[in-house]
Amino acid sequence: MASSLWYLYEFARKKWIKRFIDAKSDKSSYIPPERYRKIPPIIKFPERCISCEACKESCPAFAIEMIYNESYNKKLPEIDDGSCVACANCIEACPTGVLEMDKHRVETEGLFFDISKYNNLIIDEEVCVRCGNCERACPINVIERKEGKYVIDMASCISCKECIKACPIENAIVVVDEKTLKEKIDKAFEIKNKKIAGKLEIKENAIEEVPHIVNSLCITCGACKDVCVGEIDLTEKKVIECVRCGLCIDVCPTTAIRVYVPIIPKKRDICYVIDEDLCIGCRICQKVCEVNAINISRETKLPYIVPESCISCGVCERECPVGAIKVVKPEEAKEAVKVRIIEDKIIESIEADLMLYTEKYGKVKEEIENLSLKKLKEELKRRVYEENKRIKEMKRELYDKGNNS
């Protein structure tokens, strides 16, 4: 009884009855909801397209072709609606937000799955200390040493970020994700538009130096060139004309164009120290250290590590043939090499003094020598003169004797 009453109540509810009445007239049933299979995606901002072909590569249905467009003077994607499967991969892949499928982007923003799909890892050749830890850490071996630099093969990289974990430097591996790319390119776009419209205010001398381009980081996106009021040569990777406005530094997505970037070591809680009892003095460690943190002690002629310069990359420990290099706390390391550093300083200062003295001594010696030479000559002259005198006298005596007899 109670249950039938409940059913009666349930069915008599307005919502239910309304549903039956509206069954065929309810608009919501045939108006497609937002983000619902709207095909094909539209090319909303063609002027923003950088012809990167990311959309083409991401399309599982091969629906996109890059076709040269005369009015934009670049290749634009053309989407075949017969093939499009409305997966929206292209929209998510596009770094500059050219494509749109209804309100796709707006809807996903801020949601938990709104994470970058693409992370590009690039090694900063200026900051990298060439320790090779990343090469060893890479699970799929796509990091290689080429001409003394470590390079990540971007096409094969799976963005696992193991190399970043292994890298002893905070900022040696730059991560460029879609979001930063989009942000920076948007910014560049804005500034470029302002520049074209003549509304751009330029603060000259905003930065101290003329920036330079780091070759390995530059992805040739052209953002800097777009905003620059001077001239940048991207094929040569050089800044030719510069008013030092700093705009290019703001828009570069990979921080490739810059004035100066310091090396920031990650690990400050460990340091390395050389055990002098084990060290055989081969000096391999000194050769492999890229930051010149290893000095040779003048007292013992053995190498020691300067904790202030050491970036804790561990190359020396790995390369040492007798395993004489140990990991210790930085304080201990400082303590251990304190004596050597002081010794070196003293010896250095003494040597400097000695140098000074020897220099001075040399001068004095020269003077003495010069002096004695003069005297010698005088003496010689005197002696020769005296001898001559004696001979003359002898001759005269002889002569006198002859005359007398």
Partner 1 sequence: MIKEFFRKRSIHVCVVNTGGCNGCDIEIVSCLAPRYDIEQYGIYVHNNPREADVLLITGPVTLQWAERLKEIYEKTPEPKVVVAVGACALSGGIFKEGHVVGGVHKVIPVDAKIPGCPPRPSEIIEAVLKVAPKAIAMREKKLKNKDE
Can you give the binding site for ligand SF4, defined by CB under 6 A? Answer: 40-41, 49-55, 58-59, 61, 63-64, 77, 79, 84-90, 93-94, 96, 98-99, 123, 128-134, 150, 166-169, 172-173
Q: Which does 36 bind (CB under 5 to 8 A by kind): partner 1, ligand SF4, none?
A: partner 1
Distance from chain centroid for Cα 36: 44
- Measured from the CB atom, is 6 or 36 closer to partner 1? 36
* Token duo for residue 123: 């090694």
**Are 174 and 124 within 8 A, CB to CB?**
yes
**Are 64 and 99 within 8 A, CB to CB?**
no
Closest distance to partner 1 from the beta carbon of 167 (Å): 40
Distance from chain centroid for Cα 86: 40
Q: Would you call 237 exposed, middle or buried from its count of C-beta atoms within 10 A (0-12, 13-18, 19+)?
A: middle
Closest distance to partner 1 from the beta carbon of 81 (Å): 5
| Helix (H) or strand (E) segment spanning residue 296 | strand 294-296
Closest distance to partner 1 from the beta carbon of 179 (Å): 28
Q: Which does 32 bind (CB under 5 to 8 A by kind): ligand SF4, partner 1, none?
A: partner 1
- Measured from the CB atom, is 40 or 246 closer to partner 1? 40
Q: Which does 58 bind (CB under 5 to 8 A by kind): partner 1, ligand SF4, none?
A: ligand SF4
* Token duo for residue 162: 């193991």
* Token duo for residue 36: 């619902």
Q: Which does 207 bind (CB under 5 to 8 A by kind): ligand SF4, partner 1, none?
A: none
Q: Which does 132 bind (CB under 5 to 8 A by kind): partner 1, ligand SF4, none?
A: ligand SF4
- Measured from the CB atom, is 83 or 119 closer to partner 1? 83
- For partner 1, the binding residues (CB under 8 A) are 23-24, 29-30, 32, 36-37, 39-40, 60-63, 80-87
DSSP string, 39-95: -SPEE--GGG-----HHHHH-TT--EEEEEETTTTEEEEEE-TTT-----HHHHH-T
